[in-house]
Structure 1
Amino acid sequence: MRFSQNARRGMAGGSLVLAALLAGPMLISGCSSVIDGKPVAAPGTGPTEPNFPTPRPSITAAPPSGPIGVPPTTPANPTAPAGAIPLPPDENGYVFIETKSGITRCQINKDSVGCEAPFTDSPMQDGEHANGVHITSAGSVQWILGNLGAIPAVTIDYKIYDAQGWTIDASEAGTRFTNGHTGHGMFVSVEKVSTF
């Protein structure tokens, strides 16, 4: 049987399309694979946090703006306890702290406090122990997996501080955060977290 020139071209083109359709999945499957599990970096294989400069703000008190010896008529934060050291927020309304031990780091804004630490008794999240806890001024608590990254944290001493309406009472046993408006908060240590 003889085919016309056009018929032969059509069959040749169809054969190429058919060959491409049949070979395509085999070619693609050879270039991809799925590996189950979670990536885990070996110690010393790279940075664990972003590596960019972050200035650490100073917590030194500003000189008085009014006459010396005359107390201000209203405190900067009316809910802050007397003698609390004020921690000014950054331009986005956040205060970043690190405990004196260097183990716990937290970010604070008017609405919430979130802390990161190697907790020894935290709940499991996605098969791992949570390393973060977050509480809102309304008392809502959430455990998370995360990394605060290279935050410009101020290292606090074992004293009382005020940040964005939260009183921070730092001690060797842990750090207590209390919202001055609602009374809700949490006590954070590596061994335990208590909310109220």
Structure 2
Amino acid sequence: MRISHGIRAGVAAALLVAAAAGCSTTTDGAARCPGCGPGGEPSFPTSKPTVSPPTTPTPSPTPTPTQQPPFGGGQTLPPSDTGYVYIETKSGLTRCQINAQAIGCESDFTNPPVVNGEPANGVEVTASGSVRWIAGNLGDIPTTPLDYATYHAVGWTIDASPDGTRFTNDGTSHGMFISTEGVKVF
């Protein structure tokens, strides 16, 4: 059976129209995110939590790696639902995430060690005193800005001063003193 040229052209045109109608760069429908808020997007805090300085200001001596922080006094920073406390130093140059087992901080260090061919911009210290340098990024964490004062968070004492920040585990007395100039682990 022979198909005439006119019918063949009509069939080809119909196939082209059908093919073009089936091609699209969008997909109809709505995004679904179980447990997310309206609109299907997860919700994160849009503003930083605020922390007021302690009610009875006390002079903060310059911490040194051998000096033990006071375990009394100071404001307690509550953890998130996942057990982390996220802080940012008053200078804004260092950000940290703290849980009961470790503290991980990110900063623009002077002369950091090289990790996998890149200068480290992060350091992690465990409650047992182990240290690990990291080349990475903490991402968009909801930090609490600190003042120059003493704080407590998930078993750690934080003593923030203009010279740097000292983190001491309340149970083991291990920790670190961190500033952009470097890190001292104890």
TM-score when normalising by structure 1: 0.62
Q: Could you tell me which residue of structure 2 aligns to residue 57 of structure 1? A: 49
2:129 to 125, 128, 139: 139
Higher relative contact order (CA 8 A, sep 6+): 2
Q: How does 1:84-163 map to 2 (within 5 A)?
A: 84-163=74-153
Structure 1: any 5+ residue segments left out of the alignment? Answer: 1-51, 62-78
Distance 1:93 1:59 in 2: 18
Q: Quote the offset at 1:53 in angstroms.
A: 5.4
TM-score when normalising by structure 2: 0.65
Normalized per residue, the structure richer in strand is: 2
Q: Quote the offset at 1:84 in angstroms.
A: 1.3
Q: Are residues 113 and 187 of structure 1, via their aligned partners in 2, closer, same or farther at CA, if it must alter by over 3 Å?
A: same
> How large is the RMSD of aligned CA atoms in angstroms?
1.8
Give % identity: 57
Distance 2:129 2:137 in 1: 22
Q: Quote the offset at 1:85 in angstroms.
A: 0.8
**SS of equivalent residue, structure 1 residue 157:** coil
CA deviation map 1:119-162 (0-9, x unaligned)? 11211012211000000001110000111111000000000000
1:183 to 170, 173, 180: 173
Structure 2: any 5+ residue segments left out of the alignment? Answer: 1-43, 54-68
Q: Quote the offset at 1:82 in angstroms.
A: 1.9
Q: Quote the offset at 1:80 in angstroms.
A: 7.2
- Could you tell me whether the CA contact under 8 Å between 1:98 and 1:154 is conserved in 2? yes
Q: What amino acid is aligned across from residue 178 of structure 2 in structure 1? A: V
Distance 1:116 1:54 in 2: 21
**How many residues align structurally?**
128
Larger of the two Rg values belongs to structure: 1
Q: Quote the offset at 1:56 in angstroms.
A: 2.3
- Could you tell me whether the CA contact under 8 Å between 1:54 and 1:150 is conserved in 2? no
